[in-house]
Chains A and B, each alone.
Chain A
Amino acid sequence: AQSVTQLGSHVSVSEGALVLLRCNYSSSVPPYLFWYVQYPNQGLQLLLKYTTGATLVKGINGFEAEFKKSETSFHLTKPSAHMSDAAEYFCAVTGEWGAQKLVFGQGTRLTINP
């Protein structure tokens, strides 16, 4: 079984500041991990994914995340926030790559202050 905990339902940063969104997971099997972004009244867009191999993964829009097995974490970062990054971010896990039955966290709403 899998579960995801996103620490902080709301995160607010200034434009140009570092973005850090936290995700911890639980999985009884080696996990596949994802970050999705959702804009208001829209579906989910994949930012990045970890499957196997390199633990630091780079995604779209300058985001990256690092898989840390010892900490069961997959935190999302971006060095410099942009106003267009304001959205809801979801971390998700699955233990079965083929089936893609994702278990999502509750989401973190990111606000960017000018």
Chain B
Amino acid sequence: DTGVSQDPRHKITKRGQNVTFRCDPISEHNRLYWYRQTLGQGPEFLTYFQNEAQLEKSRLLSDRFSAERPKGSFSTLEIQRTEQGDSAMYLCASSLGRGGEGTEAFFGQGTRLTVV
């Protein structure tokens, strides 16, 4: 078990470009979460998946953001037409959930996005 893995760790992009981040959860975890953390703030929930189904999206997730989890394994988060306000740390987490049971969320090391 290598934990939650995120790639890339750092991304610098020009405003208006599209970016895509990848998250590989802990292998047996069926739930996967994306959070965004801006400087000096706590993480904010963006969206989560149970297996391949995206069950909830925060209102923070504008139309420029899309997340997928094909086959219920890794997940991608794409931001289209990036804006400077998108600069943040994007954190992925996973957990094992079965009804009301399961584990707590385990976080990856994050992808830091800088939009210039």
* Cβ–Cβ contact A97 & B100, under 8 A: yes
Contact of B104 among A41, A100, A101 (CB under 8 A): A100
B73: Cβ under 8 A from any A Cβ: no
Main secondary structure of the interface of B (DSSP, over half): strand
> In the complex, what residue of chain A is closest to B97 when comparing beta carbons?
A98
Interface string of A29-40 (1 = CB under 8 A from B): 000001010000
Contact of A46 among B35, B42, B104, B110 (CB under 8 A): B104
Contact of A106 among B4, B35, B42, B109 (CB under 8 A): B42
Q: Given A41-B112, A46-B104 in contact, is the A102-B41 Cβ separation under 8 Å?
A: no
> How many interface residues does B have (CB within 8 Å)?
31
B67: Cβ under 8 A from any A Cβ: no
B21: Cβ under 8 A from any A Cβ: no
Q: List the interface of chain A (C-beta within 8 A of B).
A: 4, 9, 34, 36, 41-46, 49, 90, 92, 97-107
